[in-house]
Amino acid sequence: MEWRGRRGSRNIEDRRGQGRGRGTAAGGIGGVGLIAVLVIGYFLGIDVTPLLNDTGAPNTAPQELTAADQAAGQFVSVTLADTEDVWDKVFDEQLGRRYDPATLVLFKGVTQSPCGGASGATGPFYCPADQKAYLDTDFFVTLEKRLGAKGDFAAAYVVAHEIGHHVQNELGILGKANAARQSASAADSNAISVRIELQADCLSGIWAREAARTFGSIDRADLEEAVNAARKIGDDTLQSAAGQRPMPHTFTHGTSEQRSRWFLIGLKSGKLAQCDTFSSNDL
Protein backbone atom coordinates (compact mmCIF):
# COMPACT_ATOMS: atom_id res chain seq x y z
CA MET A 1 0.00 0.00 0.00
CA GLU A 2 1.49 3.33 -1.10
CA TRP A 3 0.68 5.82 1.62
CA ARG A 4 3.77 7.95 2.28
CA GLY A 5 3.59 11.55 1.10
CA ARG A 6 -0.19 11.45 0.70
CA ARG A 7 -2.87 13.58 2.36
CA GLY A 8 -3.62 12.88 6.00
CA SER A 9 -6.88 13.46 7.83
CA ARG A 10 -7.58 16.42 10.09
CA ASN A 11 -9.91 14.24 12.14
CA ILE A 12 -7.16 12.69 14.27
CA GLU A 13 -7.08 13.21 18.03
CA ASP A 14 -3.61 12.13 19.14
CA ARG A 15 -3.45 11.40 22.87
CA ARG A 16 -0.27 9.34 22.69
CA GLY A 17 1.88 12.00 24.34
CA GLN A 18 -0.29 11.88 27.45
CA GLY A 19 0.16 9.67 30.49
CA ARG A 20 -1.13 6.11 30.44
CA GLY A 21 -3.32 6.70 33.48
CA ARG A 22 -2.49 3.34 35.11
CA GLY A 23 0.45 0.98 35.21
CA THR A 24 0.62 -1.65 32.50
CA ALA A 25 3.15 -4.18 33.69
CA ALA A 26 2.26 -7.71 32.71
CA GLY A 27 1.63 -8.98 36.25
CA GLY A 28 3.59 -12.21 35.94
CA ILE A 29 1.75 -13.43 32.83
CA GLY A 30 4.20 -14.35 30.13
CA GLY A 31 4.77 -16.31 26.96
CA VAL A 32 1.81 -18.27 25.63
CA GLY A 33 -0.32 -17.23 28.59
CA LEU A 34 0.08 -13.53 27.77
CA ILE A 35 -0.75 -14.15 24.12
CA ALA A 36 -3.87 -16.09 25.08
CA VAL A 37 -5.05 -13.33 27.41
CA LEU A 38 -4.49 -10.66 24.78
CA VAL A 39 -6.24 -12.67 22.08
CA ILE A 40 -9.31 -13.09 24.28
CA GLY A 41 -9.32 -9.41 25.19
CA TYR A 42 -8.74 -8.01 21.72
CA PHE A 43 -11.52 -9.81 19.93
CA LEU A 44 -13.99 -11.32 22.36
CA GLY A 45 -14.94 -8.06 24.02
CA ILE A 46 -13.34 -8.74 27.41
CA ASP A 47 -11.30 -6.05 29.15
CA VAL A 48 -8.32 -7.99 30.47
CA THR A 49 -6.52 -4.94 31.84
CA PRO A 50 -6.72 -6.24 35.46
CA LEU A 51 -4.86 -9.38 34.39
CA LEU A 52 -2.11 -7.34 32.74
CA ASN A 53 -1.66 -4.68 35.39
CA ASP A 54 0.97 -5.23 38.05
CA THR A 55 -0.33 -2.98 40.81
CA GLY A 56 -2.65 -0.60 38.98
CA ALA A 57 -0.59 2.29 40.31
CA PRO A 58 -1.06 5.63 38.55
CA ASN A 59 1.46 6.50 35.87
CA THR A 60 0.74 9.90 34.43
CA ALA A 61 4.15 10.68 32.97
CA PRO A 62 3.97 11.89 29.34
CA GLN A 63 4.78 9.16 26.83
CA GLU A 64 7.61 9.78 24.39
CA LEU A 65 6.68 8.89 20.82
CA THR A 66 9.17 6.73 18.97
CA ALA A 67 9.89 6.93 15.24
CA ALA A 68 7.68 3.85 14.82
CA ASP A 69 4.89 5.61 16.72
CA GLN A 70 5.18 8.64 14.46
CA ALA A 71 5.09 6.50 11.32
CA ALA A 72 2.07 4.56 12.60
CA GLY A 73 0.25 7.81 13.31
CA GLN A 74 0.94 9.11 9.81
CA PHE A 75 -0.19 5.82 8.30
CA VAL A 76 -3.47 5.90 10.23
CA SER A 77 -4.01 9.54 9.25
CA VAL A 78 -3.62 8.76 5.54
CA THR A 79 -5.86 5.68 5.81
CA LEU A 80 -8.52 7.71 7.63
CA ALA A 81 -8.34 10.39 4.92
CA ASP A 82 -8.91 7.69 2.31
CA THR A 83 -12.00 6.46 4.16
CA GLU A 84 -13.34 10.02 4.23
CA ASP A 85 -12.92 10.45 0.48
CA VAL A 86 -14.41 7.06 -0.28
CA TRP A 87 -17.46 7.43 1.94
CA ASP A 88 -18.06 10.96 0.69
CA LYS A 89 -18.31 9.46 -2.80
CA VAL A 90 -20.36 6.40 -1.84
CA PHE A 91 -22.88 8.39 0.22
CA ASP A 92 -23.30 10.89 -2.60
CA GLU A 93 -23.63 8.34 -5.40
CA GLN A 94 -25.64 5.63 -3.63
CA LEU A 95 -27.65 7.59 -1.07
CA GLY A 96 -27.73 11.14 -2.37
CA ARG A 97 -26.62 12.49 0.98
CA ARG A 98 -23.58 13.86 2.79
CA TYR A 99 -21.16 11.77 4.85
CA ASP A 100 -20.14 13.19 8.22
CA PRO A 101 -16.71 11.72 9.08
CA ALA A 102 -15.64 10.23 12.39
CA THR A 103 -12.75 11.31 14.59
CA LEU A 104 -10.07 8.72 15.29
CA VAL A 105 -8.37 8.80 18.69
CA LEU A 106 -4.80 7.49 18.88
CA PHE A 107 -3.58 6.49 22.33
CA LYS A 108 -0.87 4.50 24.07
CA GLY A 109 -1.73 2.21 26.95
CA VAL A 110 -4.97 3.60 28.40
CA THR A 111 -7.43 6.38 27.69
CA GLN A 112 -11.08 7.15 28.39
CA SER A 113 -14.17 7.27 26.20
CA PRO A 114 -17.90 7.77 26.85
CA CYS A 115 -18.24 4.04 26.13
CA GLY A 116 -15.77 3.14 28.89
CA GLY A 117 -12.06 2.77 29.30
CA ALA A 118 -9.93 2.10 26.23
CA SER A 119 -6.75 0.07 26.59
CA GLY A 120 -4.40 -2.15 24.70
CA ALA A 121 -6.37 -5.05 26.18
CA THR A 122 -9.73 -3.97 24.80
CA GLY A 123 -8.41 -3.45 21.29
CA PRO A 124 -9.68 -1.00 18.64
CA PHE A 125 -13.32 0.00 18.94
CA TYR A 126 -15.88 2.59 17.85
CA CYS A 127 -17.90 4.58 20.37
CA PRO A 128 -21.22 5.88 18.94
CA ALA A 129 -21.68 8.20 21.93
CA ASP A 130 -18.95 10.55 20.70
CA GLN A 131 -18.65 9.20 17.13
CA LYS A 132 -14.98 8.41 17.63
CA ALA A 133 -12.89 5.34 16.87
CA TYR A 134 -10.19 4.43 19.41
CA LEU A 135 -6.92 2.78 18.45
CA ASP A 136 -3.66 1.97 20.20
CA THR A 137 -1.25 1.66 17.27
CA ASP A 138 0.72 -0.97 19.20
CA PHE A 139 -2.17 -3.21 18.15
CA PHE A 140 -0.63 -3.38 14.67
CA VAL A 141 2.37 -5.18 16.20
CA THR A 142 0.06 -7.71 17.86
CA LEU A 143 -1.85 -8.12 14.61
CA GLU A 144 1.33 -9.05 12.74
CA LYS A 145 3.52 -10.83 15.27
CA ARG A 146 0.96 -12.63 17.43
CA LEU A 147 -1.98 -13.14 15.10
CA GLY A 148 -0.13 -13.63 11.82
CA ALA A 149 -1.90 -10.84 9.90
CA LYS A 150 1.04 -9.18 8.18
CA GLY A 151 1.25 -6.12 5.97
CA ASP A 152 0.26 -2.48 6.12
CA PHE A 153 -3.01 -3.15 4.35
CA ALA A 154 -3.97 -5.59 7.09
CA ALA A 155 -3.58 -2.64 9.45
CA ALA A 156 -5.57 -0.43 7.08
CA TYR A 157 -8.36 -3.02 7.16
CA VAL A 158 -8.55 -2.59 10.95
CA VAL A 159 -9.02 1.17 10.56
CA ALA A 160 -11.56 0.68 7.77
CA HIS A 161 -13.52 -1.83 9.89
CA GLU A 162 -13.87 0.64 12.78
CA ILE A 163 -14.91 3.39 10.37
CA GLY A 164 -17.41 0.88 9.01
CA HIS A 165 -19.09 1.05 12.42
CA HIS A 166 -19.27 4.82 12.03
CA VAL A 167 -20.93 4.35 8.64
CA GLN A 168 -23.45 2.07 10.36
CA ASN A 169 -24.03 4.81 12.92
CA GLU A 170 -24.52 7.41 10.19
CA LEU A 171 -27.10 5.16 8.55
CA GLY A 172 -29.00 4.62 11.81
CA ILE A 173 -28.23 0.89 11.79
CA LEU A 174 -25.90 0.74 14.77
CA GLY A 175 -28.27 2.45 17.20
CA LYS A 176 -31.15 0.12 16.33
CA ALA A 177 -28.98 -2.97 16.55
CA ASN A 178 -27.51 -1.99 19.91
CA ALA A 179 -31.00 -1.20 21.24
CA ALA A 180 -32.14 -4.67 20.19
CA ARG A 181 -29.17 -6.21 21.98
CA GLN A 182 -30.18 -4.53 25.24
CA SER A 183 -33.44 -6.49 25.47
CA ALA A 184 -32.13 -9.77 24.03
CA SER A 185 -30.78 -12.86 25.74
CA ALA A 186 -27.02 -13.30 25.90
CA ALA A 187 -27.00 -15.69 22.94
CA ASP A 188 -29.29 -13.49 20.85
CA SER A 189 -27.28 -10.39 21.75
CA ASN A 190 -24.13 -12.15 20.53
CA ALA A 191 -25.90 -13.13 17.31
CA ILE A 192 -26.84 -9.49 16.67
CA SER A 193 -23.27 -8.47 17.41
CA VAL A 194 -22.04 -10.91 14.76
CA ARG A 195 -24.28 -9.28 12.17
CA ILE A 196 -23.00 -5.84 13.19
CA GLU A 197 -19.39 -6.92 12.83
CA LEU A 198 -19.85 -8.77 9.55
CA GLN A 199 -21.56 -5.73 8.07
CA ALA A 200 -18.57 -3.60 9.12
CA ASP A 201 -16.33 -6.13 7.36
CA CYS A 202 -18.45 -5.80 4.23
CA LEU A 203 -18.27 -2.01 4.43
CA SER A 204 -14.50 -2.19 4.74
CA GLY A 205 -14.56 -4.23 1.53
CA ILE A 206 -16.45 -1.41 -0.22
CA TRP A 207 -13.80 0.99 1.03
CA ALA A 208 -10.99 -1.23 -0.30
CA ARG A 209 -12.64 -1.45 -3.73
CA GLU A 210 -13.12 2.31 -4.04
CA ALA A 211 -9.69 3.12 -2.61
CA ALA A 212 -8.02 0.87 -5.18
CA ARG A 213 -9.94 2.55 -7.98
CA THR A 214 -9.63 6.12 -6.76
CA PHE A 215 -6.09 6.35 -5.43
CA GLY A 216 -4.25 3.59 -7.29
CA SER A 217 -2.34 2.92 -4.07
CA ILE A 218 -3.63 -0.62 -3.51
CA ASP A 219 -2.69 -3.76 -5.44
CA ARG A 220 -3.82 -7.38 -5.39
CA ALA A 221 -1.28 -8.33 -2.71
CA ASP A 222 -2.72 -5.62 -0.44
CA LEU A 223 -6.22 -7.01 -0.83
CA GLU A 224 -4.93 -10.49 0.00
CA GLU A 225 -3.45 -9.06 3.21
CA ALA A 226 -6.87 -7.75 4.20
CA VAL A 227 -8.58 -11.06 3.48
CA ASN A 228 -5.90 -12.86 5.50
CA ALA A 229 -6.42 -10.43 8.41
CA ALA A 230 -10.17 -11.09 8.34
CA ARG A 231 -9.48 -14.83 8.51
CA LYS A 232 -7.00 -14.51 11.36
CA ILE A 233 -9.45 -12.67 13.62
CA GLY A 234 -12.51 -14.89 13.30
CA ASP A 235 -13.97 -15.95 16.65
CA ASP A 236 -13.38 -19.64 15.96
CA THR A 237 -9.72 -19.09 15.08
CA LEU A 238 -9.11 -16.84 18.08
CA GLN A 239 -10.78 -19.16 20.55
CA SER A 240 -8.69 -22.05 19.21
CA ALA A 241 -5.54 -19.93 19.50
CA ALA A 242 -6.47 -19.23 23.13
CA GLY A 243 -6.64 -22.94 23.84
CA GLN A 244 -10.44 -23.07 23.85
CA ARG A 245 -12.93 -25.21 21.99
CA PRO A 246 -14.84 -22.85 19.64
CA MET A 247 -18.30 -22.15 21.07
CA PRO A 248 -20.57 -20.59 18.41
CA HIS A 249 -23.08 -19.23 20.93
CA THR A 250 -20.33 -17.01 22.36
CA PHE A 251 -19.19 -15.63 19.00
CA THR A 252 -19.48 -11.83 18.74
CA HIS A 253 -17.65 -11.11 15.47
CA GLY A 254 -18.20 -14.15 13.23
CA THR A 255 -16.08 -17.04 12.06
CA SER A 256 -12.95 -16.66 9.96
CA GLU A 257 -14.86 -17.85 6.89
CA GLN A 258 -17.70 -15.40 7.51
CA ARG A 259 -15.44 -12.41 8.11
CA SER A 260 -13.37 -12.95 4.99
CA ARG A 261 -16.46 -13.74 2.88
CA TRP A 262 -18.32 -10.58 3.86
CA PHE A 263 -15.23 -8.48 3.22
CA LEU A 264 -15.12 -9.99 -0.28
CA ILE A 265 -18.85 -9.31 -0.81
CA GLY A 266 -18.21 -5.62 -0.23
CA LEU A 267 -15.04 -5.68 -2.29
CA LYS A 268 -16.67 -7.34 -5.31
CA SER A 269 -19.99 -5.48 -5.26
CA GLY A 270 -19.12 -2.01 -4.00
CA LYS A 271 -22.78 -1.66 -3.04
CA LEU A 272 -24.21 -0.75 0.36
CA ALA A 273 -27.32 -2.80 -0.38
CA GLN A 274 -25.20 -5.94 -0.67
CA CYS A 275 -23.94 -5.47 2.90
CA ASP A 276 -27.32 -6.06 4.57
CA THR A 277 -26.24 -8.78 6.99
CA PHE A 278 -29.39 -8.22 9.05
CA SER A 279 -31.65 -9.53 6.27
CA SER A 280 -29.36 -12.36 5.25
CA ASN A 281 -30.33 -15.94 6.08
CA ASP A 282 -26.86 -17.14 5.18
CA LEU A 283 -24.12 -15.44 7.15
pLDDT (average), residues 3-15: 81
- Residue 162, pLDDT score: 94
Q: Confirm whether 1 is domain-assigned.
A: no
With respect to residue 265, please indicate whether it lies within any of the assigned structural domains.
Answer: yes
pLDDT at 67 over 90: no
Q: Each residue of 33-54: pLDDT tens digit?
A: 334 344 444 444 433 333 344 3
2 falls within a domain: no
Whole-number Cα distances in Å, 95 to 89, 126, 239, 271, 272: 10, 23, 38, 11, 9
- For residue 3, being part of any structural domain is answered with no
Range of the domain at 236: 12-275
pLDDT, one tens digit per residue, over 178-198 is 999 999 999 999 999 999 999
In terms of C-beta density within 10 A (0-12 exposed, 13-18 middle, 19 or more buried), how is residue 76 classed?
A: buried
Contacts of residue 129, defined as CB under 8 A and 6 or more positions apart, other chains included, come to 113, 114, 115
pTM given for the model: 0.81
- Give the chain's domain count: 1
Alpha carbon 141 to its chain centroid, in Å, reads 14
Answer yes or no: is 87 within a domain: yes
Q: Is residue 176 part of a domain?
A: yes
Question: Looking at the domain assignment, is residue 212 inside a domain?
Answer: yes
| pLDDT per position as a tens digit, 90-123 | 999 999 999 999 999 999 888 999 988 877 666 7
Angstrom CA distances, 156 to 48, 58, 116, 209, 279, stand at 25, 32, 24, 13, 28
